[in-house]
Structure 1
Amino acid sequence: MRLKQSLIIAITLVFTTSCVSPKVYKDLESKYASLKQENRKLNKDNTSLLKEKTATLNELKQLKAAYDEAIAERDQLRSDFAATKSNLDNLKASYAALEKNSSAAITKNSQKNRELLAQLEAKEQALAAENERLQKLKQALEERSGRIAELENVIASKDAAMTQLKNAISRALTDFEGKGLTVEQRGGNVYVSMENKLLFQSGSWAVGTDGKTAVRSLGNVLAENPDIAVLIEGHTDNVPYSGNGVLTSNWDLSTKRATAIVNILRENTAINPENLTAAGRGQHAPVATNDTEEGKAKNRRIEVILTPKLDELSRLLNEQ
């Protein structure tokens, strides 16, 4: 937008001070069209990044739901196994009783003995079928338990890795404690929150010296953890943006601030740019009331959300 305004001013000055040749006018008009096309591309890229973020969060939700479903299925198999074993024990007891009665009845009634033998044969067949079913249930239960154990190990490993990451970040940013910076681990993710007083001047998206030092320290830790997705969210308070220039709203400001943090992280060439996502939330995700100055200060922040990639967990859930 700044380039567009500069171009319009330049055209206006040229028209007001001298005659403009058709060639110069066409050149200016071509530059304006190019800038306009670039602006549309940037807007399209931003929309794609937001969609990718939403898709990633939905995938994580689906994986967790599939894990819960696997636990329920494993528990049902255990219940079926116990019921089948009880039925087998009853069949064995019945078989023993029939066998005893058969031996006593042989001397009294051969017809009765044949009936008992037929019943015994039927019981043996039922017992064999139940044994086969029990064996299949046992095998299915063992397989399901093995998969559950694998899932639990993967989840535990991811949680442990995120705990180590959180501790590493806390150590790297210890000099900024009490300056509007917090590091927390919630729901399997690590959240690094930096209030604007550490990063930006009011209405600006240029990162100050202390802020750059903090972000670069964070980047050094992220460079050693390539399997982490990094979402940078910009947030503002609810006071409408009233400045002049290229900004149009709090949402615009929050997006530019998030992008400024991404640009500093990208200075570290060891960080994979594909792991980075910038998003602006404006005033729509406050963490405190906007009725006090203290609350507004907490809402004016950058949140860096670190999420483990779940490729291995997805593979286990998709296995037959």
Structure 2
Amino acid sequence: MKKLFAIAITGILMTSCVSNKKFSEMEDKYQNTKDQLNSAEMRLSACEDEKKSLRASYEGQIKTLQSTNAAILDTQSDIVTISKKGAENLERSLESMKEKDLQIKTMNDAINKKDSVTLALVTSLKGALNDINDEDIQINVEKGVVFVSISDKLLFGSGKYKVTDEAKRVLAKVAEVVNDKKDFEFMVEGHTDDDPISRTNIEDNWDLSTKRATSVVRILQEEYNVDPTRMTAAGRGEYIPVASNETANGRAKNRRTRIVILPKLDQFFGMIEEGMKKAK
């Protein structure tokens, strides 16, 4: 009986020892698992913190990029606006330059046309008067204006204003040319030296120069059918000399009648205006 009891007790004790061992093993596993779980939770927490930090960093970078992109878009818009305005200004400048070029070309064409007509006039005058002594008649062109200067001794007697028969032959040739050139007007100028004149029908050099110019104009109108609306008579007296009055030769040069042939300015500007209209 005692022997059976002892065996029973031994079995119970052995059973109890196995359970404690398993329990200890299980407890060790639990602790190990718990430690691993704690470690995993710590790593998870660290990961979450790092994730939050990265998210915050990314969000900051995204905001910065968004701001930068918006600024770039605004700048690009400004550049586009500036470029558009610049292009418009450039286009207007080019149009203005083109218009100026057309105006300059038109004016040059008008001037060239006038110069061509003036050259034709000079050629015609020189051809018509080529048999006249060069000392008695001179033809010059200054700034587009033709000057025909006829000496006093060819046109008038000393101190007189009646046109000589020889002078009428010269005036007939001049009239033939100017009648053919309708684009010109002209002024007949009388000039004297500075010697005082004293005659019953002539007051002074002003009067003498004016009477001589008027005599020439009347001859051109009445005998050679020059349109009087194209002519002007002017007395210049002694005040525009071409030589010194201190010598006889100089005084002879100053006593002259000058025909100033002028292009009709209204026709000249009419050519420019017509050209401007065609250019538009």
TM-score with structure 2 setting the length? 0.72
Q: State the match for 1:113 in structure 2.
A: 69
The answer to whether structure 1 residue 228 and structure 2 residue 184 are counterparts is yes
Q: State the match for 2:219 in structure 1.
A: 264
Q: Map of 1:188-267 to 2, 5 A cutoff?
A: 188-243=144-199, 245-266=200-221, 267=223
CA distance in 2, matches of 1:281, 1:311: 26
The one-character-per-residue Cα deviations of 1:151-192 (angstroms, maximum 9, x if unpaired) are 111112112211110111011011113341100000110000
- Out of 293, 307, 310, the position equivalent to 2:262 is 307
The answer to whether structure 1 residue 164 and structure 2 residue 120 are counterparts is yes
CA distance in 1, matches of 2:247, 2:84: 76
CA distance in 2, matches of 1:111, 1:253: 95
The one-character-per-residue Cα deviations of 1:116-148 (angstroms, maximum 9, x if unpaired) are 121111100111111111111111211121111
| Cα displacement (A) at 1:313 | 4.2
Aligned residues: 213
CA distance in 2, matches of 1:287, 1:138: 50
SS at match of 1:176: coil
Q: Which runs of 5+ in 2 are unaligned?
A: 1-61
Calculate the aligned-residue CA RMSD, in Å: 2.1
Note closer, same or farther for the CA distance 1:113–1:140 as it changes in structure 2 (3 Å cut). same
What amino acid does structure 2 have at the position aligned with 1:224? Answer: D
Q: Is the 8 A contact 1:219 1:265 kept in 2?
A: yes
Larger Rg: 2
| Cα displacement (A) at 1:113 | 2.0
Q: Is the 8 A contact 2:183 2:267 kept in 1?
A: no
Note closer, same or farther for the CA distance 1:296–1:311 as it changes in structure 2 (3 Å cut). same
CA distance in 1, matches of 2:97, 2:230: 38
Q: Is the 8 A contact 1:151 1:313 kept in 2?
A: no
The answer to whether structure 1 residue 288 and structure 2 residue 240 are counterparts is no
Note closer, same or farther for the CA distance 1:313–1:171 as it changes in structure 2 (3 Å cut). closer
SS at match of 2:131: helix
Identity of aligned residues (%): 33
| Cα displacement (A) at 1:275 | 0.5
The one-character-per-residue Cα deviations of 1:47-93 (angstroms, maximum 9, x if unpaired) are xxxxxxxxxxxxxxxxxxxxxxxxxxxxxxxxxxxxxxxxxxxxxxx
Q: State the match for 1:127 in structure 2.
A: 83
What amino acid does structure 2 have at the position aligned with 1:193? Answer: S
CA distance in 2, matches of 1:246, 1:177: 31
Q: Is the 8 A contact 1:196 1:300 kept in 2?
A: yes
CA distance in 1, matches of 2:135, 2:273: 43
Q: Which runs of 5+ in 1 are unaligned?
A: 1-105
Q: Is the 8 A contact 2:191 2:237 kept in 1?
A: yes
| Cα displacement (A) at 1:111 | 2.6
The answer to whether structure 1 residue 137 and structure 2 residue 93 are counterparts is yes
SS at match of 1:237: coil
